[in-house]
Amino acid sequence: MNIIDRAALGIAQSIRRNYPEAPSEVALKYSLSLLINTLSAITVSMGVCIATGHWKQGAIVVFFFLFMRYFSGGVHLRSSLTCSLTSAGIVIVLAHLQFNYWYLGFLCSLAAFMIYAIKAPDGIEKVSRVDPRYYPLLKAICLAVVALNMLVFQSSLLSAVFLTQALTLTNQAYTFIYYLERRKTNES
């Protein structure tokens, strides 16, 4: 059990001791683990972005990465600590990328659009309460946001965020994460 899960368990146990009518310890631990994971990733990544003078880019990356992740889904890591560190690393790298929108940014947006069109939403069945009948709407939202960047904003930063998130929907991302997690389990 990593530091995030231990903290979530400790807080969950404390809540249950003081408020017996609270939800189950398992449910509390799960919710708190997600909250601590998200807040720690945002805190670390924004801390680095502020220290390097890229706080605006960091805030944009955090917002749009989470926004697109909510609507499109993607691969999930089993370890909350690994997820937090990976997410922070992605935000930091993306916030510091600089390239022209034409042509690389446009190609990133185009690739993201195609991946979302084929794969979104993916992997949200167990982590979202969205009714499956609304999945086409989730896909449409993803496509509309990417198209808006392609046609109006033409932001290289957004194109990198959209492509990075779209890549988490691919079979290759699932295979890579499965390989890493299986390898980690075999080494333990």
Evaluate whether residue 152 is within a structural domain.
yes
Evaluate whether residue 41 is within a structural domain.
no
pTM for this predicted structure: 0.91
Evaluate whether residue 96 is within a structural domain.
yes
Evaluate whether residue 167 is within a structural domain.
yes
Torsion of CA 34, 35, 38, 40, to 10 degrees: -120
Residue 62 has pLDDT above 60, yes or no: yes
As given in the structure block, the two tokens for residue 184 are 């980690």
Q: How confident is the model at residue 76 (pLDDT cuts 50, 70, 90)?
A: confident
Evaluate whether residue 91 is within a structural domain.
yes
Distance CA 151, CA 20 (A): 54
**Structural domain harbouring 130:** 53-187
Determine the Cα angle at 150 with ends 128 and 136, to 5°. 30
Q: How confident is the model at residue 187 (pLDDT cuts 50, 70, 90)?
A: low
The residue assigned the tokens 């290759």 is 172
Res 184: pLDDT: 62
Q: How confident is the model at residue 125 (pLDDT cuts 50, 70, 90)?
A: confident
Evaluate whether residue 69 is within a structural domain.
yes
Mean pLDDT of the chain: 94
Domain count of the fold of the chain? 1
